[in-house]
Amino acid sequence: MRYLIPLLLFLGLGVLLYAGLGKDTRRVPSPLIDKPAATFDLPELRNPAQRVVSKQFAGKPWLLNVWGSWCVACQEEHPVLLDYAKSKQIPLVGLNWKDDDATALRWLATLGDPYDAVAVDAEGRVAIDFGVYGAPETFLIDANGVIRFKQIGPLTPEVIASEITPRLAAMGVQ
Amino acid sequence: MPRAVFALAFVLLASLAHAIDPLPFANEAEERRFQALAQELRCLVCQNQNIADSDAGLAKDLRKEVFEMMRAGKSDDEIKQFLTERYGDFVLYRPPFKASTFVLWVGPLLILVAGFAIARGMMLRGGPHPDLPGPIDDKVDR
């Protein structure tokens, strides 16, 4: 009995610290899940005369992928995006975040271009509205313009299979 | 001489207090308000820094955003709300007191109180440890 309380306290502390061990503190849960996505009207990277307007994607689900040619993890993610784009499941929209247009274009020319549209967010204003704090980040936005899922860090085939495909299926997209 | 050292210390400290990118402040009061606000906001890229100290691109953008909101006549609370709507409470170095942060705020106090209670219980209950010499009998020396 005498040692029971210290032992319990020690075990409690141990459990608490152990639970913290595997956690990635860089992943901050977004308060924007299940909230309407911010709207934007930005120039199209591949054709500056054109605009990419968030409204044009309303009515069906779409993916918004935040990337930059300066971002190493984006390069790692790129083959996954190229592969996903082949499925033509839903539109894949790029948000080119704080990048240089010429470098970004060269990046797409070299590595391939998976995007249905690429919006240029040179000042990072739209990224702030989406609560972006690192690239890559990917948002799944439903037909009503509500953010349903956010991937922080590169998309992987596993994340697509476990997080995106089931949500799309629930929305009626096969 | 001490005065010169003092002055030098002030100059060095002042250089630390300034944000990394100069913003066009109208007056000192505005700059002080900005600095106070920026020091309360966490930079999400380098999480152990506030946005006043961080040199990350995002921190710079957020400083600009905060400055422009101040210019637009937004209150400190409105600016903090704008950022928490996007980044969550994590962006605030002083998280608000609410149900989800209850343990964070009250936990340490509870542990302290529990510690005192346990210590008190042990002192009252235990009496002198059997291995320790008993109370000194002061009559012996007198």
> Is A96 part of any domain?
yes
The domain tally of chain A equals: 1
**Residue whose token pair is 């996903």:** A84
Could you tell me the two tokens for A102? 């010429």
Q: Along chain B (142 residues), what's the average pLDDT of each consecutive run of 10 residues?
A: 68 55 87 93 83 85 94 95 92 86 89 91 74 64 51
> Is A21 part of any domain?
no
Nearest to B62 among A26, A31, A128 (CB): A128
> Is A13 part of any domain?
no
A72 close to B (CB below 8 A): no
Q: How far apart are CA A23 and CA A100, in angstroms?
A: 34
Q: How far apart are CA B122 and CA B104, in angstroms?
A: 28
Cis peptide bond upstream of A136, omega within 30? yes
A128: chain B residues, CB-CB within 8 Å? 61-62, 65, 86
For B56, other C-beta atoms within 10 Å of its C-beta total 17
Q: Give start and end residues of each alpha helix (H) in A39-120.
A: 72-87, 101-111
Region of residue A39 (left: phi > 0; alpha: psi -120 to 50; beta: else): beta
A131: chain B residues, CB-CB within 8 Å? 86-88
- Single out the residue of A97, A109, A104 nearest to residue A42, CA to CA: A97
> Is A11 part of any domain?
no
* The domain over range B9-95 is classified in CATH as 1.10.8.640: yes
Complex ipTM: 0.81
Domain ranges, residue A88: 26-170
More confident residue, A100 or B122: A100
Residue A164's CATH number? 3.40.30.10
> Is A20 part of any domain?
no
Contact flag B88-A29 (C-beta cutoff 8 Å): yes
Q: How far apart are CA B39 and CA B66, in angstroms?
A: 12
User: pLDDT tens digits for A37-78?
Assistant: 999 999 999 999 999 999 999 999 999 999 999 999 999 999
> Is A18 part of any domain?
no
